[in-house]
Amino acid sequence: MVYIGIDLGGTNIAVGAVSEAGSILAEASTKTLSQRPFEVIVKDMADCIKKVLVKGKIALDDVKSIGIGIPGVADSDSGIVLNCTNLGWVNVPLRAEMQKYINKPVLIENDANVAALAESYVGVSAGCQSSVMVTLGTGVGGGIVINGKTWPGAHNRGGEIGHMTLVPDGVPCTCGNNGCVERYCSATALIRMARQECYSFPQSAILQKAGGDPDRINAKLVIDAAKEGDAPALRVFNTFVRYLALSLNNIVAFFDPEIIVLGGGVSHAGDFLLDSVRALLPRLQMFKSLPGPRVELARLGNEAGIIGAALLGKNTYV
């Protein structure tokens, strides 16, 4: 059997046909153009699936299910997208609309959970019974996988690590609260802290790399400056790592997963980030002599969205 996986993003929709073993057999993509009515976007998604089937010479009868990873919250029972800020979707009947075109089981879940599932099947956490994936991008996403299944939570809000409170009365968050993990551990946070540092230390290599324009500071540039040993950049990076390690330690205290997987744009800092987190996390843990989870970098990259969404079908229907 073949499983269709769809990575629905604010800019692009990537569709793939995935084998039982979790490898992509054929793929295609289309622009989301999120201002359009959702019915038109879903029709494009269905057309993209048909294109993938032709490309991969796959018969519709061989398709077991369609899985969709969304940047938001869905009700897995009803197949309704409850809230998807990037797309401006509230209470969108995504499953019913998709089944107008292709009558197969449709499973919908948050994209961070989907990425965590992909890693647990064919990525760095394969073979682990419990894993938590933390994506460090524009925001901070979290996904929980237990015994090969995602844990969406009783109210589809499980794993929202980015919105755990880290700093009481801290930086305002898009979710309506203050001081969320996302405001201190995302690429956005790294950039904000770097701009503040450059205000006090304008000679920093960060600002030089940005051509003297604070608006051009991005996460990669801050990390590159820190790798070169620039003191202000290192202060920013170390502050970032401390917030991240504190957040991960909260996950360990509450959930104690076998492995924590770091993904998203900031994780491209590679060993520079991984070594720092691995050095600090054991020092924060309770009962220091007890073993803690492995911390690893995600392995799958962009294809995690397609593979994980497809595996939602395998997850439920096998």
Terminal CA-CA length for the chain: 11
For residue 309, the minimal CB distance to Zn ion (Å) is: 24
Q: Which is nearer to Zn ion, 247 or 285 (CB)?
A: 247
Q: Which is nearer to Zn ion, 73 or 118 (CB)?
A: 73
Distance of alpha carbon 232 from alpha carbon 201, whole angstroms: 7
**Helix, strand, or coil (residue 40):** helix
Q: Which is nearer to Zn ion, 93 or 153 (CB)?
A: 153
The residues, any chain, with a CB within 8 Å of residue 249's CB and separated by 6 or more, are 281, 284, 285
Using an 8 Å Cβ cutoff, are 45 and 33 in contact?
no
Distance of alpha carbon 47 from alpha carbon 83, whole angstroms: 24
For residue 254, the minimal CB distance to Zn ion (Å) is: 18
For residue 71, the minimal CB distance to Zn ion (Å) is: 15
For residue 47, the minimal CB distance to Zn ion (Å) is: 35
For residue 186, the minimal CB distance to Zn ion (Å) is: 11
> DSSP class of residue 8?
E
Q: Which is nearer to Zn ion, 185 or 260 (CB)?
A: 185
Token pair recorded at residue 98: 């998709």
For residue 183, the minimal CB distance to Zn ion (Å) is: 7
User: Is beta strand 80-84 parallel, antiparallel or unpaired with respect to 140-146?
Assistant: unpaired
Using an 8 Å Cβ cutoff, are 167 and 242 in contact?
no
For residue 181, the minimal CB distance to Zn ion (Å) is: 8
User: Is beta strand 63-70 parallel, antiparallel or unpaired with respect to 89-92?
Assistant: unpaired
Q: Which is nearer to Zn ion, 70 or 185 (CB)?
A: 185
Q: Which is nearer to Zn ion, 187 or 300 (CB)?
A: 187
- Binding residues for Zn ion, rule: CB under 5 A, are 163, 173, 175, 177, 180
For residue 192, the minimal CB distance to Zn ion (Å) is: 15
> DSSP class of residue 96?
H
Q: Which is nearer to Zn ion, 167 or 274 (CB)?
A: 167
Distance of CA 45 to the CA centre of its chain: 21
Q: Which is nearer to Zn ion, 58 or 173 (CB)?
A: 173
Residue 318, Cβ density class (10 Å: 0-12 exposed, 13-18 middle, ≥19 buried): exposed
Listing DSSP states for 206-247 in one string gives HHHHTTT-GGG--HHHHHHHHHTT-HHHHHHHHHHHHHHHHH
